[in-house]
Structure 1
Amino acid sequence: MSAVAVLRLPLAVDLSGFVKLLQRMQVPHRVSEEAGEQVLWVSDELSEDVRALYVRFPAGDPEQQLELPAAGSTPRRPGFVQQLTRSPMTALVLLLSLIVSAVTLLGENLEVLRWLTFLEFRVVGQYIQFTPLADSMAAGQWWRLVTPMLIHFGFLHIAMNGMWYWELGRRIEARQGGINLLGLTLLFSLVSNFAQYIFSGATLFGGLSGVLYGLLGHCWIYQLLAPNPAYHLPRGVLVMMLVWLLLCLSGLVSLIGFGEIANAAHVGGLLVGCFTGLLGGLFARRKMTL
């Protein structure tokens, strides 16, 4: 684990109070003097947290306003309601997905479903007739570019996607905020939907899985460049999702009865997620070195 310089301050700045706070929090650190400055070093995984702590408590915490767990105690895991209040954007996206799943009867109610699909359609006898995308855009139906992410076909579909969005979305919301999570979600939905449309043509598709692979790629590359506890995914999770992607691409998953898989959406989401993770990670890494 490497150490990074999180603070570079003039020698006249009193850093003793903040150092005492770090000692009370049992955060490994050291202070050195370089080129007429005092430099605070901590492990790279804690750098952003320590920098944010200094913004709040530059003089330390002499009145001990921060309630820290007693030595040797195990921190209590936040309850479900507390997790919801900490991750409102994650909860909102999941709530919208559940509402859409309910009103579309998990894809069975075609009259409602047709308003949310990438391509508008109408049922003619036993067939579905799709409207060209250009016609929908000319009619101002821009929401169709992203709303397929809210559509799910079956309980297993919404359960699995919801579970992974809750896991990955909360991490990004905690690290980069709810607005950034919403922006990334919409971007990943847009790219994955277009990728699937280009690959498969006029078909029905939907679900959060393309977005999920975008969130996975974002966390993965971001963590490589600017390590942070919020984005630390167990190696098994990353390997499992990448192996699942390869199995889907091989056609084996569809062959054993899981239905058609939106492989292009998965690959498109993963690629754009890796790209945003690269940009975000490089920016965060640059901030660490300033």
Structure 2
Amino acid sequence: MAFGISPRKIITIPLGNYSPDYYLTLLYHAYKSLGWRISYFNRDGIIGYTPISWESYAEEVSARIEGNNVIIKSECVGYQFFFTDYGKNAKNLELLLDGEIEYVEYHLKENLHETTQQLIDSTPENKFITLEDPPMGYKEKLRDFLAAFTPKPGYYITPVVVLINIAAFFATRIIMLALLLAGILNASRHHGTVMHYLKNDIEGLYLSVGFSTRNAVLSGQVWRLVTSVFSHFSLLHLAGNMVVLIYIGSLIESKLGKWNYLLLYLLTGICASVTSVVWHDHVVMAGASGAIFGLFGVLLALLSTNFYEANARRALLISTAIFVAYSIIPVGKRVDHAAHFGGLVSGYLFGWIAYMGLKSNRQKLIILFAATATVIYTGCCLALAPIYQFKDLRQLTHQSQQLSDKLQRDFYGNYGVSRDSVMLLLNHKALPEIDTLKLIANRMDRLLLPKKQKALANIKSRLILQECKLFTLLYKEFRDRDQVKYRAEINNTTQIINDLRIDWSKTGNDPDMEDGEE
């Protein structure tokens, strides 16, 4: 089996007594006999595609004449899971070389009077199909591990972007580690706990190195739409994205041109990021996958046109559609499906713009229209999306808990203290605290929040008001020295508080935080 980002099998055959034209003619008829679709045929070689089946969504089988040899290669068109071809390429070469050529030569020798030029003339022309500019772009030249990271003509921006992502990952981890150690040291100096620091400041660590959140972007930090595209949560997250970027970049960078390719990568990344910002209420967002899906959208758009020769287009379209359909399925808690969708849709739109620009040889159209569309979409999203008051909710929740704890101590922690001292404490301290707690509850109920958090804030507000009512009743009971007059109302209020606490516990303990997304 062949392994790699683009699994392939290559074999070199000496021509011996065969002339190049004659051997190419044999290959032409062998391809036809096997049912392979021929996309390119000329004196320098041949390109064909195997049929689509449940076992395979097409391999490209090419033969290139070099001196007195013919180099025959079978290569997987689509992205292969686990980077293996499962023996498909070796099987193709075996079918072609172990009998098919001899069969064609023996059974068709009476009809092999056609010249190579006649066969060339019968093959549909397409200026995008040549051995020098193959349908799969630079992908077929990724022969070893280092080739994926080495800038070359036709494959320049992709490895540079990959290396920038890798460098950014390790640089941000060094910065985050330094900030983390400083934060832990500061927490210990102020008698805080390390776990409390980690729980409350992990988002701040991510934001300090360019990750993105809804409120940060909507508050004016628009640059995070770009920096988050070059940020990743883990080595596994980074590696997965970079492998797919190398695959899609090697397919289309040479077709678009390096600067068009870079522009579309960045613009679809921005569209993906802003879609994620609008969709998610409060998560940390990062990753190149939105921009990568944008490039897949560009490829799907090009495959919807006559940019590629029909047979090459068919093989690439099916393999690409399978991969995109499988990857876009909204399954997985820590996967940013909104960014994937935003990147894919914007990429498809920009792909059509790129096609029209390439077709008319007006490259500036690509830059102008794609950039304009991105600015308009981003501007609308930023203008229309509300800024949720999560920070205010956290602060009010913390303040309410502190006041509630103080009131508990005021009312239940004064054993052995004279009645006059307790009344003085309640009048001058507890009652103002109750009034402050009521104001907090009213402010909490008016916060601008998404539906789920709004419901939680409403429960919390009602809970606080009921606690204020309970403390007020306890104060009146103590003041009037009457343990009968207010007892029924106290019991009823206590039951309401318990019910609200049950509702609160069912919705989760932290009303403003969700899991981070990749």
TMscore range, shorter length: 0.5 to 0.7
**Where does 1:118-133 land on structure 2 (aligned, <5 Å)?**
118-119=212-213, 131=216, 133=218
Instruction: State the Cα RMSD in Å.
Output: 3.6
Secondary structure of 2:349's counterpart equals helix
Q: Is the 8 A contact 2:272 2:342 kept in 1?
A: yes
Cα deviations by residue, 1:205-228 (Å, 9 ceiling, x for unpaired): 111111111111110120220243
Say if 2:300 and 2:317, in contact at 8 Å, map to a contact too. no
1:273 equivalent to 2:354? Answer no
Question: The residue matched to 2:284 in structure 1 has which SS?
Answer: coil
What's 2:323 paired with?
Answer: 240
**Structure 1 match to 2:225:** 145
Residues 1:85 and 2:151 are matched in the alignment: yes
Select the residue among 206, 216, 220 that pairs with 2:296: 216
TM-aligned CA deviation for residue 281 of structure 1: 3.1
CA distance in 2 between counterparts of 1:114 and 1:76 reads 39
- Give unpaired runs (5+ residues) of structure 1: 1-21, 31-39, 54-74, 121-129, 137-141, 255-259
Please give the alpha-carbon distance, in whole angstroms, between the structure 2 residues aligned to 1:168 and 1:199.
Answer: 26
Q: How does 1:1-290 map to 2 (within 5 A)?
A: 23-26=42-45, 43=124, 46-49=126-129, 78-81=143-146, 84-86=150-152, 87-105=155-173, 109=177, 111=205, 113-119=207-213, 131=216, 133-136=218-221, 142-228=222-308, 233=316, 235-246=318-329, 249=330, 251=331, 253-254=332-333, 260-284=334-358
Residues 152 and 206, structure 1, Cα contact 8 Å, conserved in 2 = yes
Q: Percent identity?
A: 21
1:188–1:272 CA contact under 8 A, matched in 2: yes
* CA-to-aligned-CA distance 1:206-265 (integer Å, 9 cap, x gap): 11111111111110120220243797637344313312211xx2x4x22xxxxx211110
Q: Please say which structure displays the higher CA radius of gyration.
A: 2
- Aligned residue pairs: how many? 213
What amino acid does structure 2 have at the position aligned with 1:208?
A
Please report how far the alpha carbon of residue 88 of structure 1 lies from its aligned counterpart in structure 2 after TM superposition: 1.9
| Partner Cα separation in structure 2 for residue 90 and residue 169 of structure 1 | 6
C-alpha contact (below 8 Å) 2:271/2:342 kept by paired residues = yes
Gaps of 5+ in 2: 1-40, 47-115, 134-139, 178-203, 362-518
Shift of 1:81: 5.0
Separation of aligned partners in 2, 1:106 and 1:270: 32
Instruction: Evaluate the alpha carbon distance shift between residue 131 and residue 271 of structure 1 in structure 2; reply closer, same or farther with a 3 A threshold.
Output: closer
Q: Is the 8 A contact 2:172 2:209 kept in 1?
A: no
Structure 2 residue identity aligned to 1:43 = P
Contact 2:296 2:320 in 1 (8 A): no
Partners of 1:76 and 1:94 lie apart in 2 by 17
Name whichever structure is richer in helix by fraction.
Answer: 2
CA distance in 2, matches of 1:227, 1:153: 37
After superposition, the Cα gap between the structure-2 partners of 1:201 and 1:102, relative to the gap in structure 1 and judged at 3 Å, is same
**Cα 1:233–1:106, aligned 2, differ >3 Å: closer, same or farther?**
farther
The answer to whether the Cα contact below 8 Å between 2:176 and 2:206 also exists between their aligned partners in 1 is no
Q: Residues 42, 180 of structure 1: CA spacing in aligned structure 2 closer, same or farther, 3 A cutoff?
A: farther
* TM-score w.r.t. length of structure 1: 0.61
Change (3 A) 1:24 1:135: closer
Q: Aligned letter for 1:235?
A: I
